[in-house]
Structure formats: C-alpha cells, structure tokens
Amino acid sequence: MNAIVNHIGELAEAGERMIERLRRKAFLPESRKGLNVRFGIAEAAQLLSCSTNRIRMAEDDGRLPAAPAGKNGRRLGYSVEEMLQMREVLGASPARAPLDIPAIIAVQNFKGGVGKSTVTCHLAHYFAVQGYRVLVVDCDSQATTTTLFGFNPHFNITREETLYPYLSIDPTQADLLYAVKSTPWPNVDLIPSNLELFDVEYELAAAGSDGQSVLAARFRKLKQGLADLARNYDVVLLDPPPALGTISLAVMQAANALLVPLAATTPDFCSTVQFLSMMDQVLQQLARAGIEVEYSFLRLICSKFDGNDPSHAMVRTIMEQSFGPALLPVPILESAEISHAAMRMMTIYELERPIGTPKTHKRCRANLDEAMGQIEQLVRQGWGRVEPACEEDVLYAA
C-alpha cells in the first residue's frame, strides 16, 4: 500500500484517541458516565400526573423518603431512581400490562445526517423520564448510539459484546441476554455495537448459493431474539445502519413499528422518498419469500427543523402535502442546546443545568417533550390505553 493509504489508518487511530480523551473529560474520573439530573417537586408532580400535596403527604406518612436537602437546606430534587420508586408507591407507573406487546421501534432512514442516533437516544431518555423500561439496540457498526451512552466502541466494546456472536454464520450465543449492558439510567439498558459488527455483512455476503436461506434464518433469528428479550421491557428501540444491508433488513423485519427521521431539506426529502420506495420493494420481496413484516405504526418525523429558515418551512409544507398524517405534526427543532449536549456525549435529558441560556434550554426541552410524546401516544394507543386525567382536572370537574 502507498503512503496515502497507510495514512488513513493513522488518521483513524488519532481520531479514536481524541474520542477517548473527550470521553474521559466528559465523564466521571473513572471514565464512567454518570447521571446527576434531578427533578423538583413541581416537575415530579407533573410527570406523575398528581399534585405536589400528594407527594408531600406520602413523604409525611413514611411511604416515600423526603427529597434530600443541600447544605443550605433547600431540596435538591428527586433522582431518576427516586422517581421510579415514587411511581411504584403512588401507582403512577406507565408500564405495559403483561398481555400488551412491547413496542419494538426501528428508527431508520438510509440517508445519513438526519439525526437518526440523536433521535434514538433522546427518545430512549424521554421514555425513561416517563417511567418506562427501555432497551436500546445499536445495530449500526458506526456505533454513534453506543458512544452517546458513554461507551467507547473502540476501547470498551469487543465484538463478543455486540450482536455479532448471535447473528454470525457460526454463532456462539443462543440468545441475546449476554449482550445487555446497564447504562447510567436505571430503567434503560443497551446492546452496544462497534466496527466489528460489520463482519456479519461480510459473512452473509460470502455465504454463496446458500446465502438466501442463511439470510432468511438470520432475519427470523433476530426477530425471535428481540421478542424474547422484549418481555422484560416496555419499549425496544433499534438503531440500524443508514444503508440497505443484511442487518438493516433484519431490523426491519424484527421491528413492529417504524419511525423515519428526515431533515427539512430538499435532498433529505428526495432521499427519504427513495428510501420508502426501496423499502416497499424489499418488503414485497420478503413477503414473497415467506417473511412477513407487520408494523403497528409507521411515522415520519421532521428533525433539525429551523422555523426561521423559509426553505425549511417550504420543504416541511411539501412533506405535509406528500405524507399527510404519516408525518408527525410536531417537528424536532434545530437547537444549539442539542449540539452542545452532544459535544458532551449527552442528551438534553441528561443535563443538570442549561448549557446555553435558560430560555433556549427550556424551549428545546419543551419541544423534545412534545415531539417525543407523539411517539409515546402511538405506543400507548397500540396497548389500547387512554391517558389518565390529571388529578387537578378530576377535582375541578367534580
């Protein structure tokens, strides 16, 4: 190989070292990602759909411990663990009923740069804040989602900790339990990825004339493995590669719902139309091969939307005219707060305090809550649930 080709490897190694430096700077001294976010009593009451008085009464009668106080005597707020305990004590858990089918949502688009991994991580943390049990499965060998959860795919994750031992031509694992890792969120688990997961694509491509049957077997295997694992969760989020390959096809078949993020630009719109057309053809081919795919919902969500950009508004109008109700009405707004959080390998839901101005942070958080809440409503509709009324509304109506 010539010097320029050799230089590619050197650039990759330099980049990996920098990622590790950023990770060590962003996380705890022992290079573990922490979670220090806390909720004040008013926000806790809103999340639990109850009054602040009800929380205080539960603390007074000993059913709940009081929120810890700082040196100045002021309450520090409730941790995520304490919020989960409060949900149990106050009967405010949103968990699905035993007979409800877990939502297995693929967040997919073959167009890169649409915020697929960012949407996946924010959606996972939104569901976590709401009290759901969440599993995130990083199926992309680029491993952006794995990185955002605090793991360095190059230094911290081996091939044996990814989906590879389960999906390879010569599997060494019979189920997916081996790959599940805890995250800083007590109700969110992760199956990580790294670059070596791409070996699955090579192996199946080299399967020769028997490749079709091997491929079909891998599709069914991933679907079964995720279905078995999903029994312990309410929501499973799948982050597949941004390309049409073996793993992407397996993810499409394993999911029971599909979320397609797309940015408000003409190239993204055109690319997404091509993605939908290609997906339609592939799903028809899978059906002819006896591999059925069924989704409880399919929605597109506009990401990185700048309301002050006339071109974004124009493209969004085109999306609305083209996709109708399949396009979720609330887009994810472009925000410097999201970008700044990503630099710290975090989501908005993990920030202890605003990075920019409090106004910018509040606007960004409110938009994400509303946008992510649309998907939550679709999940709950699939379970046949009606959202409980707020306690104050019930009292007012009486």
* Statement: residue 282 has pLDDT above 90: no
Euclidean distance between the first and the last CA atom of the chain, given in angstroms as a whole number: 79
Cβ-Cβ contacts under 8 Å for 136 (sequence gap 6 or more): 120, 121, 124, 145, 149, 183, 188, 189, 190, 191, 236, 237, 239
The proportion of the chain whose per-residue pLDDT surpasses 90, expressed as a percent, equals: 58
* Statement: residue 386 has pLDDT above 60: no
Domains (range + CATH), the chain: 41-90 (no CATH), 103-391 (3.40.50.300)
**Of 156 and 159, the one with more pLDDT:** 159
- Of 197, 304, 208, 302, which is closest to residue 241 (Cα–Cα)? 197
Q: pLDDT tens digits for 313-329?
A: 999 999 999 999 999 99
Other C-beta atoms lying within 10 Å of the C-beta of residue 167: 26
Q: In the 8-state DSSP scheme, what is residue 105?
A: E
pLDDT band of 152, cuts 50, 70, 90: confident
Q: What is the mean pLDDT of the chain?
A: 86
- Copy the structure tokens of residue 39: 């909720």
Extract long-range pairs of 384-390: CB within 8 Å, 24+ residues apart. 384/100, 388/49, 389/49, 390/49, 390/50
What does the CA dihedral 258, 264, 268, 269 come to, rounded to 10 degrees? 80
Q: Are strands 188-191 and 181-182 parallel, antiparallel or unpaired?
A: antiparallel
Beta-bridge partner residues of 301: 261
Q: pLDDT tens digits for 215-225?
A: 677 778 899 99
Beta-bridge partner residues of 106: 238, 258
The most confident of 9-18, 67-76, 174-183, 248-257, by mean pLDDT:
174-183
Which residue's structure tokens are 């509040």? 362
pLDDT of 345 reads 84
* Statement: residue 340 has pLDDT above 70: yes
Mean pLDDT across 90-103: 94
* Statement: residue 371 has pLDDT above 90: yes
